[in-house]
């Protein structure tokens, strides 16, 4: 079974953050998504990206919190 991979720029576009943010996460070991380095290229498996997104889903609530 062949996995589909995306680049750092494609991941940044998907998450709507800057590419530098993703690179900083990797440098600081804060990247929430596993990555693979092939020579000089960093790639992310779409299955890992989808797992990250699924793990961060929130349910809609009708309750509002007010700060007093």
Count of the separate structural domains present in the chain: 1
Burial (CB count <10 Å: 0-12, 13-18, 19+), residue 43: middle
Model pLDDT for residues 46-57, shown as the tens digit of each residue: 999 999 999 888
Q: Are 8 and 23 in contact (CB under 8 A)?
A: yes
Q: Does some domain include residue 68? A: no
Q: Does some domain include residue 21? A: yes
Q: Does some domain include residue 63? A: no
Model pLDDT for residues 20-55, shown as the tens digit of each residue: 999 999 999 988 999 999 999 999 999 999 999 998
Q: Are 49 and 55 in contact (CB under 8 A)?
A: no
């Amino acid at each position: 079974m062949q996995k589909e991979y995306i680049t750092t720029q494609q991941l940044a576009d998907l998450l709507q953050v800057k590419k530098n943010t993703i690179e900083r996460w990797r440098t600081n070991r804060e990247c929430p998504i596993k990555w693979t380095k092939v020579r000089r290229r960093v790639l992310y498996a779409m299955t890992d990206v989808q797992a990250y997104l699924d793990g961060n889903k929130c349910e809609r609530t009708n309750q509002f919190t007010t700060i007093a």
